[in-house]
Amino acid sequence: MKAAFFEGPGRIEVRETPDPVCPPGGLLTRVEACAICGTDLRSFDFGSRHKGQISGHETVGTVVEVGEGVTGFKVGDRVTDCPVTCGECGFCRTGVNNLCPTRGRVGGVAQGGFAEMRPILASAVSGGFVVKVPPELPAETATLIEPLACVINGNEKLDVKPDTTVAIIGSGPIGVLHLILAKLRGAGEITMVDLKDERLDQAGPFGAGHLVNAAKTDPVARVREFTGGVGADVVVVACVSASAQAQAVEMAAKRGQVLMFAGLPESSPTATLNVNLIHYNELRLIGARSSVKRQWDLALDLLMTGKVSGPGVVNASVPLERIQEGFEMVRSGKVLKVAVKPQHHLHWAEPARGVPSEGDRQLAEAPEGAALSHPGTTSGPYSRMSPGWHASSRQMASSVENLTALALPVLRIERLASVIPTRSARSVSEILRSTMTRSSRTIIAMSSSPRP
C-alpha cells in the first residue's frame, strides 16, 4: 500500500510499504479519509516526534477484513475508532478515561490514517472503542468526529446560558467548532480572535458577531468594548500561544470562565498570567484534553443531524500523494480543514468548498421533523436546534441498500442527490457519468471490485 511517513521537519514522503495484516480480534480497514489536525501540523513542522511513522488520527475507513473471533462487525462497515484506555483505573471507572494513564497505548500503538490501509487493534474492538459510521455520512464529515468530540469535552465543562458572551482565541477548525457549539447552546455575542484575516473570514459565516485580528489591534480592549467594558463571560483559548492565554485572563468578565483548550510546546510550557485577575475577579480556569467514547457518539449525532455542518468545516481535500500540499494549505489558513483521501483514484469527488454549501443551506431549510435516517437522539445542551439537514437521508440509505443488493460494493456515497435504479455495473458507470455532468452536486462513487 501507499502511506505517508514523516521524514523530518517540513518533509513528508509518500511511498510503498507492505500492506498491514488484519490483527486477530481486530479489523483491517481501507482508509476513506483522514483529516489533518493541528497536532499533525506540529509534527510536520518540528519533525522529530513522529519521524518514520504513519500519523493521522481523524480517520474513517471501510472494513475489508474481520479478524478471528470478532462479532458485531462485517466487511463493508464504515468505522472510526477512539483512543483505547485500560478500563480499570479510577479515571476509566468514573467515565473520564480521557485521563487514563495508558490512553492510546493499550494493546499497542495503532498505525495512523495517512495510508491506504489501516488495521484497528483487537483492544479497540473488544473494548468498545470502534464507532460505526452510517453510510450516508460523507467521509470528510466523518473525519470531524474526533475533533468535535474533543471540543464537546471542553464545551461540556462550561456554563453557557442564553446571552452568555463568548470570546474564542484561535479561529482555526477547533475555534470554529467551539463557536458552533456555543451557538447551539444559545450563547450571546461571540468574538473570534486570530492573527490571520484569512482564518477570521472563514469563521464569519458560522455566526461570529465580531472578528478581531490580534496582529492589528488589541484583542483585550476590543472584547471589553464589545461587552460594555465587562469582558467575556466565557473565553476559549484554541491556539498554542502563551500570550493568548495571558490575554484570555485579561479579557474575561468577573466570575468568567477561561477554557485552556490547547497546551504549549513541551520545551516552553509556561505562561505568565495576571493571577490577581483570577483572584479578584473570581475567574475559573478550566483545562480540557481529548475526549471519551460517549462524546464520540454525541459528535456523530451532531454531524448526522446537521447541527454541525461537516462540509463547512472540512472544506478541502487532497489525495494521499499530495498530502504535503494539504499541510501547506492548513498552514496558510486559507482552508479550515483538509481531508486526505487515499482512495481518491477510486471515485469522482469534488473537494467540499464553501461555508456552508448551497446544498447545506437548502437542506437546513427543510421542514422540521423531515425524514431522518438517523434517529437524532441528541439530548442535553445541544438539543435546542431542530434537525433539518439530511432531510432525504432515509431515501439515501435505502438507495444505498438497493445498490448493495445489486452486488455492487458501494465504496462511498457522498451528498447523494439521486440514485437511478439499474441492473448492471456498466449502466451504473454510464449513469454516473451523466449525473456528474448534469449536476456536480450529485457525487456518487462505487466499484464492482473491492480493490483496484
User: Which C-beta is closer to Zn ion: that of 83 or that of 342?
Assistant: 83
Of 4-33, which residues contact Zn ion (CB under 5 A)?
none
Report the C-alpha gap between 147 and 151 in whole angstroms: 6
Of 349-388, which residues contact Zn ion (CB under 5 A)?
none
Report the C-alpha gap between 252 and 44 in whole angstroms: 33
Please enumerate in sequence order all residues whose Cβ is within 8 A of that of 71, keeping only pairs 6 or more positions apart, or say none. Answer: none
User: Which C-beta is closer to Zn ion: that of 127 or that of 147?
Assistant: 147
**37 interacts with Zn ion by CB under 5 A:** yes
Report the C-alpha gap between 124 and 130 in whole angstroms: 6
**Least CB distance from residue 115 to Zn ion, whole Å?**
17
User: Which C-beta is closer to Zn ion: that of 86 or that of 396?
Assistant: 86
- The answer to whether residues 191 and 210 touch, using CB atoms and an 8 Å cutoff, is yes
**Least CB distance from residue 189 to Zn ion, whole Å?**
28
**Least CB distance from residue 401 to Zn ion, whole Å?**
32
Sort residue 361 into left (φ over 0), alpha (ψ -120 to 50) or beta: alpha
Point out which span in 96-104, 296-304, 342-350, 375-383 binds Zn ion (CB under 5 A).
Answer: 96-104
User: Which C-beta is closer to Zn ion: that of 37 or that of 410?
Assistant: 37
Residue 296 CB-density burial (10 A; 0-12 exposed, 13-18 middle, 19+ buried): buried
Point out which span in 97-105, 153-161, 205-213, 238-246 binds Zn ion (CB under 5 A).
Answer: 97-105
Which residue in 360, 335, 316, 37 sits closest to 202, CA to CA? 335
Give the helix ranges, DSSP H, for 168-288: 173-184, 197-203, 219-226, 242-251, 275-280
**Least CB distance from residue 178 to Zn ion, whole Å?**
14
Q: Which of 89, 286, 370, 431 binds Zn ion (CB under 5 A)?
A: 89
Which residue in 149, 155, 135 sits closest to 300, CA to CA? 149
Query: What's 424's DSSP letter?
Result: S
**92 interacts with Zn ion by CB under 5 A:** yes
User: Which C-beta is closer to Zn ion: that of 70 or that of 100?
Assistant: 100
Of 67-86, which residues contact Zn ion (CB under 5 A)?
85-86
Please enumerate in sequence order all residues whose Cβ is within 8 A of that of 101, keeping only pairs 6 or more positions apart, or say none. Answer: 86, 89, 91
Report the C-alpha gap between 337 and 200 in whole angstroms: 14
**Least CB distance from residue 6 to Zn ion, whole Å?**
15
User: Which C-beta is closer to Zn ion: that of 89 or that of 445?
Assistant: 89
Secondary structure class of 226 (helix, strand, coil): helix
User: Which C-beta is closer to Zn ion: that of 60 or that of 428?
Assistant: 60
**Least CB distance from residue 39 to Zn ion, whole Å?**
6
Q: Where are the beta strands (DSSP E) in 43-143?
A: 58-66, 78-81, 117-120, 130-132
Point out which span in 59-67, 92-100, 204-212, 304-312 binds Zn ion (CB under 5 A).
Answer: 92-100
**Least CB distance from residue 71 to Zn ion, whole Å?**
24
**Least CB distance from residue 150 to Zn ion, whole Å?**
7
User: Which C-beta is closer to Zn ion: that of 147 or that of 170?
Assistant: 147
**313 interacts with Zn ion by CB under 5 A:** no
User: Which C-beta is closer to Zn ion: that of 46 or that of 348?
Assistant: 46
Please enumerate in sequence order all residues whose Cβ is within 8 A of that of 87, keeping only pairs 6 or more positions apart, or say none. Answer: 93, 97, 127
- The answer to whether residues 41 and 330 touch, using CB atoms and an 8 Å cutoff, is yes
Point out which span in 34-42, 123-131, 301-309, 408-416 binds Zn ion (CB under 5 A).
Answer: 34-42
Total number of residues binding Zn ion (CB under 5 A)?
A: 7
Max CA distance (Å), the chain: 73
**Least CB distance from residue 236 to Zn ion, whole Å?**
16
Site string for Zn ion, 137-156 (x = CB under 5 A): ----------x---------
**Least CB distance from residue 451 to Zn ion, whole Å?**
28
Report the C-alpha gap between 78 and 30 in whole angstroms: 9
3-state percent helix, strand, coil for the chain, nearest multiple of 5 = 35, 20, 45
Point out which span in 67-75, 99-107, 333-341, 436-444 binds Zn ion (CB under 5 A).
Answer: 99-107
Point out which span in 90-98, 117-125, 282-290, 433-441 binds Zn ion (CB under 5 A).
Answer: 90-98
Q: Which of 100, 190, 320, 411 binds Zn ion (CB under 5 A)?
A: 100
At 6, list the grid cell.
514523516
**Least CB distance from residue 40 to Zn ion, whole Å?**
7
Name the residue with cell 462511498: 412
Binding site for Zn ion (CB under 5 A): 37, 85-86, 89, 92, 100, 147
